[in-house]
Structure 1
Amino acid sequence: MFSDLKNFKENTPSHSYGAVLLNPCFYSVVLYRISHKLYKCNLKLLAKIVWLINRIINSVDIDYRAQIGKDFMIIHGIGIVIGSDVIIGDGVKVYQGVTLGGCGKVRVCNEKLISQPIIGDNSIIYTNSCIFGPVIIKNGTKIKACQVITEDN
């Protein structure tokens, strides 16, 4: 979580801890990290409670089972939905209204079945974009605003 604090500070226009500590998007990431850690410790009920708090307070629905790398940034987080089997690499930025989730399809990737998107490192997903299904997004990809992605990119 300290790395998230540093990342938000470096990527906030004022570059100040004060701005980060007043940024609800920072708390959305922190609450996700807490819920994910609780889930990994097999405290599933507590993980679900923290997830619910994040959803109610910040209007951000990041499932506690999702796998999100370091330096994850949310910009204007309201309406973001990230499903339980989503895998997000390091340095990814997600804007408001983005949905990452399944569509009922599955496929094999690296000898594992996947049903939800895998987002490569240092990708940016702009406002109101949706990525559905077992889709693989390459490192460094920029998804334009209001796009619906159902195939690898």
Structure 2
Amino acid sequence: MFKSLREDIEAVFQRDPAARSRLEVILCYPGIHALIFHRAAHRLWNRGWLTTARFLSQVSRFLTGIEIHPAAKIGRRFFIDHGMGVVIGETAEIGDDVTLYQGVTLGGVSLDPGKRHPTLGNGVVVGAGAAVLGPFKVGDGARIGSNAVVVKEVPPGVTVVGIPARPVGPQPVREEAACFSPYGASPASCAVDPVARSVERLAERVRELEDRLDRREREAEREPVRVAAHGA
């Protein structure tokens, strides 16, 4: 447990430039507090102490504003930045090196007692306010932009944005720390909403048609002048 805690603390330094010391991280980062509570509650859950595990998770929710069901499976070097309002459901599964920001929901859309929450692969980043809803997989290295609503599988290395979420182009899955994309949006892709991009293209087409219509109207206004000149 202490080894995993050390890894979780190191993950904070890799992904948050505001972190200045290990003591600061231990005392001031609710994501770390919630993770400590969850790892203890998860052990209790696996040993059959279900009510005790749920109670411990509720204590964590009260203290941190982060709700993680004790049955959820979380990998190594998990980081919740800021954290307030994060909800992780019972059958959610989270791989290694995953980052969530505030307001993220890993939820279910079914009353089926089986698998109903998402599975996040390794290295996934989920931006603030995003909702990932359903029992599908988000592939390794995928990026989910802030406030996106994801309701179907996301391929590995792809960035998705919007409501419902749509891909904005494949992003290569890279391992270097310098490739970390805060809030699930990288400068390379600019996380442009595909719907907004389509609207912009339509607006450009309308402007082009308006210019052509204006030219035709001006030509039509000059035409009687030319006819009168020839008649004289």
TM, length-normalised to structure 1:
0.89
For the residue of structure 2 that corresponds to 1:131, the secondary structure is strand
For the residue of structure 2 that corresponds to 1:38, the secondary structure is helix
Structure with bigger RCO (C-alpha 8 Å, 6+ apart): 1
Q: Aligned pair 1:103/2:123, yes or no?
A: no
Work out the CA distance in 1 between the residues paired with 2:7 and 2:134: 32
Q: How many residues align?
A: 147
The aligned runs of 1:45-124 (5 Å cut-off) are 45-104=51-110, 114-124=115-125
Larger helix proportion of the pair: 2
Work out the CA distance in 1 between the residues paired with 2:26 and 2:85: 21
Alpha carbons of structure 1 residues 10 and 66: separation in structure 2 relative to 1, 3 Å: closer
Work out the CA distance in 1 between the residues paired with 2:89 and 2:66: 11
TM-fit CA distance, 1:25: 1.6
Alpha carbons of structure 1 residues 149 and 31: separation in structure 2 relative to 1, 3 Å: same
Letter of the 2:121 partner, please give it. Answer: G
TM-fit CA distance, 1:16: 2.1
Work out the CA distance in 1 between the residues paired with 2:11 and 2:94: 20
TM-fit CA distance, 1:44: 1.2
Identity %: 30
Work out the CA distance in 1 between the residues paired with 2:58 and 2:67: 8
For the residue of structure 2 that corresponds to 1:114, the secondary structure is coil
Work out the CA distance in 2 between the residues paired with 1:49 and 1:98: 22
Tell whether the 8 Å contact from 2:11 to 2:77 is kept in structure 1 after alignment: no
Partner of 1:110: none
Work out the CA distance in 1 between the residues paired with 2:65 and 2:34: 9
TM-fit CA distance, 1:114: 3.0
For the residue of structure 1 that corresponds to 2:122, the secondary structure is coil
TM-fit CA distance, 1:104: 1.1
Tell whether the 8 Å contact from 1:105 to 1:133 is kept in structure 2 after alignment: no
TM-fit CA distance, 1:130: 0.2
Tell whether the 8 Å contact from 1:123 to 1:141 is kept in structure 2 after alignment: yes
Specify the structure having the higher radius of gyration (Cα): 2
The counterpart of 2:32, out of the listed 26, 34, 39, is 26
Alpha carbons of structure 1 residues 70 and 97: separation in structure 2 relative to 1, 3 Å: same
List gaps (5 residues or longer) in structure 1: 107-112
For the residue of structure 1 that corresponds to 2:62, the secondary structure is helix
Letter of the 2:143 partner, please give it. Answer: K
List gaps (5 residues or longer) in structure 2: 155-232
TM-fit CA distance, 1:10: 4.5
